[in-house]
Amino acid sequence: MSGTGSDLPDGYPFQPGLEISPRETAELMRTRPDGLLVIDCRERVEWETARIEGTVLIPLGEIQDRIDEIEGQGKPTIAVVCHHGRRSMKAALLLRQLGIEGALSVAGGIDWWSRSVDGSIPRYTKDASGCRVVG
């Protein structure tokens, strides 16, 4: 279920078993929505700037406190997305430590999702003053 990452940029250090590609995630969202929970672990300001329809916002800092909510969804596959893939990897590893063994990080985050799956989702940069759309 973790794919090959073939839709990622050349040289991306895809980690099979820990990551799922954006295209594979989108395909699962389309074909098996009852079997997949996609968690967006970014902050609300980022979520309000750009988001993938059908994801659930649970910022990284809230995951441990909201584990019952995640488990209560009863989805066999959990994928976590962030901006570029770093926070989602941390979130997926945390979920695994909390007993959700198959949690996966969406490789390249919403930035690569925008480039490879849905160009209508804005790309952005984030700094102390907030988010700024760049493309």
Is the CB of residue 44 less than 8 Å from the CB of residue 114? no
Which tops the pLDDT comparison, 127 or 29? 29
What domains appear along the chain, each with residue ranges and CATH number? 19-133 (3.40.250.10)
pLDDT tens profile 115-135: 999 999 999 998 888 888 886
| pLDDT tens by residue, 102-117 | 999 999 999 999 999 9
Pairing verdict, β 77-81 and 104-106: parallel
- pLDDT reported for residue 1: 45
- Residue 92 structure tokens: 């997926």
- SS3 of residue 78 by DSSP: strand
Task: Give pLDDT tens digits for 80-101.
Answer: 999 999 999 999 999 999 999 9
